[in-house]
Amino acid sequence: MIKFENVSKLYGSNAALSNVNLSIGKGEFVFLVGPSGAGKSTFIKLLLKEIEATEGKIFLGDLEVTNLPNRKIPVLRRNVGIVFQDFRLLPRKTVYENVAFAMNIIHASPRSIRRVVPQALSLVGISDKANKYPHELSAGEQQRVAIARSIINNPSVLIADEPTGNLDPDTAWEIMRLLVQINLRGTTIVMVTHAKEIVDKMEKRVIGIERGKIIRDDLRGAYKYHV
Amino acid sequence: MFRASAYSVKQACKQLIRNRNMCTASIFSITSMLLILGLFFILIVNINLLAQTAQSQFDTIQIYLEDDVGEEAIYEMQNEMETIYGVKEVTYIDKEEALVIMKKRWGDNGYLLDGLESNPFPNSLEIKVNKLEDADAVVSRIKGMDGIEDIKYYQSVVEKLLNITNFIQLAGMVLIVILIIISIVIVANTVKLTVAAREKEIGIMKYIGATNWFIRGPFFVEGIIIGIIGSGVSVAIIYFFYKKIIEAFSTQAFVMFSIGLVPHEFLINHLIWIFISLGVGIGSLGSILSMRKFLDT
Ligand SMILES: Nc1ncnc2c1ncn2[C@@H]1O[C@H](COP(=O)(O)OP(=O)(O)O)[C@@H](O)[C@H]1O
Ligand SMILES: [Mg+2]
């Protein structure tokens, strides 16, 4: 599903990523861990073509990201759901409208919007807040809306950049259960996180990055590598 | 395509209502710009019309004769004038005939001339020239003749009119270009305020996979709506006042001097399209310009 071939990203002489080789299969659930400044955000930005790789090739599904023309970037991003630590909801739209917006941009029919949006809202358990605005919701509720929006168009990959970073442990676990549920439907999930406890308990594949290099890749890993 | 447009129009309407004040300012600027443009347009078409009628009506030279010149002498003068190069024909109009002609021209007001004690009109000769340009040469040949009280001809008037038209056209053009630029800048700034307030939202939309045109759509439509309203208002204002002016001019004294104005139906039919295309052009260009910075990344 996701493939990095000898990918490097240089900022001047500083290598944010150097010579990364990596392959993530369809339906996998992967944690991306590492200290701050290791290159995790760079990895995501490259995948979304927010920045260009200095070297190497990146593939996402059928698309070769590294030679995708700029005007095709929207197509790439519709194939990838994204969830951020700070939720990034549209402040002037209601919960319902925020989720529907992702369908508006692919010119979905009003009819299918009316059918699919309530389903997504109920999947993330927030149907009763459909007409509220983001600022009227708790952090956990806002993250649920963001997740509903990210999966509404059935992306093959869901990328979550520290999705639990702003949440208390209980809420964080609720969000994790939601992600697992989405993963079970076949969506590949890549989650960047610092939450040691979550990574340890989930026992999923863990890819560790440090100073732009992959230092470990364990199929049923823990946050810290204990020798 | 249709869904995308429907979405844009809906969003644009929401934005317009949300930013009522700024939008009113933009509409006001477009309206005032178009009003000034309309004023020039009206001036130009009417002066053109005036120059045209003048040119066709005034290709004659009137020679007023002193009262003591006898018929004999007048016929002699007439023959002599007919030999001058450029002269087409020379007609003798005696004072009685002149009075009749004037009464006719005044139409319903002709009775005003009945009260006169004596006929104020002189005997005259009227020269028709082949070409208006020849009038000067003809007049200089006639000037020396005896018994002439006054010579009237309109070449200089017509030329002046044409000069004025040219000047107004040029000045109007320059002013209008300046005004168009100002209006574009004002609309651009209005839309830019909306856009700047939503810079973060635009970033989020891009992350979700919205194309630039999808993001631009509502702002684009917003600009177009501002343009259409602005042009509609100015057409309505001009229609109202020009009709009033025409009505005022067509009643009273003006008919006597046969001053013609371009009919308002004709004027509005032309103005409406010019205004709407200008309004829409300014509105859409303004909004696209204001978005450039936010989408080129
Ligand atoms: N725009 C940039 N310009 C220069 N250096 C950058 C830029 N973005 C990131 N970096 C550098 O690249 C490295 C990796 O950054 P990043 O991928 O954001 O790390 P992480 O997300 O793992 O904390 C860091 O050393 C950072 O300073
Ligand atoms: Mg980071």
Q: Is residue A48 part of a domain?
A: yes
More confidently predicted of B159 and B128? B128
pLDDT at B100: 82
ipTM given for this complex: 0.84
Q: What is the mean pLDDT of chain B?
A: 80
- CATH code of the domain in which A161 resides: 3.40.50.300
With a cut of 70, say whether residue B208 has pLDDT above it. Answer: yes
Residue A168 has pLDDT above 80, yes or no: yes
SS3 A83: strand
Residue B157 sits at φ, ψ, to 5 deg, of -65, -45
Looking at ligand 1, which residue's alpha carbon is closest to its atom 14? A39
> Of the bound ligands, which one is closest to the alpha carbon of residue A32?
1
- pLDDT the model gives residue B44: 78
Residue with more model confidence, A131 or B20: A131
Closest ligand to the CA of A8 = 1
Enclosing domain of residue A159 = 26-54+81-218
Q: Do B4 and A109 touch (CB under 8 A)?
A: no
What is the longest distance spanned by two Cα atoms in chain B? 101
End-to-end Cα separation, chain A, in angstroms: 31
CB contact under 8 A, A90 and B205: yes
Q: Of B128-137, B194-203, B214-223, which one has max mean pLDDT?
A: B214-223
Comparing alpha-carbon positions, the chain A residue that sits nearest to B204 is: A88
- For B104, what's the count of Cα atoms within 13 Å in the CB-facing half-sphere? 6
Residue A64 lies in a domain: no
Widest CA span in chain A: 56
The larger pLDDT score, comparing residue A128 to residue B41, is at A128
Number of domains observed in the structure of chain A: 1
pLDDT value of residue B1: 60
Average pLDDT, chain A: 93
Measured in angstroms, how far is the CA atom of residue A36 from the centroid of ligand 2? 6
Q: Is A131 part of a structural domain of the chain?
A: yes
Interface of A with B (CB under 8 A): 48, 71, 74-78, 82, 88-92, 101-102, 104-107, 109-110, 149
Q: Say whether pLDDT at B154 is over 80.
A: no
Which residues make Cβ contacts (< 8 Å) with residue B44, sequence separation at least 6? Answer: B165, B168, B169, B172
Residues ≥6 apart with Cβ < 8 Å to B216: B287, B288, B291, B295
List, as one string, the DSSP characters of A159-204. Answer: EEESTTTTS-HHHHHHHHHHHHHHHHTT-EEEEE---HHHHHHH--
Residue A18 lies in a domain: no
Tokens representing B242 are 């020009």
What's the pLDDT band for B108 if we cut at 50, 70, 90? low
Which residue in chain B is spatially nearest to A79 when comparing CA positions?
A: B209
Q: Is the CB of A40 under 6 A from ligand 1?
A: yes
What are A15-67's pLDDT values in tens digits?
999 999 999 999 999 999 999 999 999 999 999 999 999 999 999 999 999 99
pLDDT in tens, B56-89: 666 778 888 888 888 888 888 888 888 888 888 8
Give the minimum alpha-carbon distance from B228 to chain A in angstroms, rounded to a whole number.
Answer: 26
Count of CA atoms in the C-beta half-sphere (13 A) of A63: 21
For A47, which residue in chain B has the nearest alpha carbon? B207
**A191-202 pLDDT, tens digit each:** 999 999 999 999
Note the CATH number of domain B67-146: 3.30.70.3040
Q: Is residue A4 part of a domain?
A: no
Task: Answer whether residue A200 is part of any domain.
Answer: yes
Domain extents for chain B? 2-55+159-295, 67-146
- Cα distances (angstroms) measured from residue B83 to each of B58, B88, B126: 21, 9, 14
Q: Which one has a higher pLDDT value, B72 or B110?
A: B72
Distance from the CA of A161 to the center of ligand 1, in angstroms? 14
Segment A74-90, tens digit of pLDDT: 999 988 999 999 999 99
Residue B94 has pLDDT above 80, yes or no: yes
Judge if the beta carbon of residue A16 lies within 6 A of ligand 1: yes
pLDDT at position B250 is: 64
Q: What is the pLDDT of residues B231-286, one digit of tens each?
A: 999 999 998 888 888 777 765 544 444 456 777 777 788 888 888 998 888 888 88
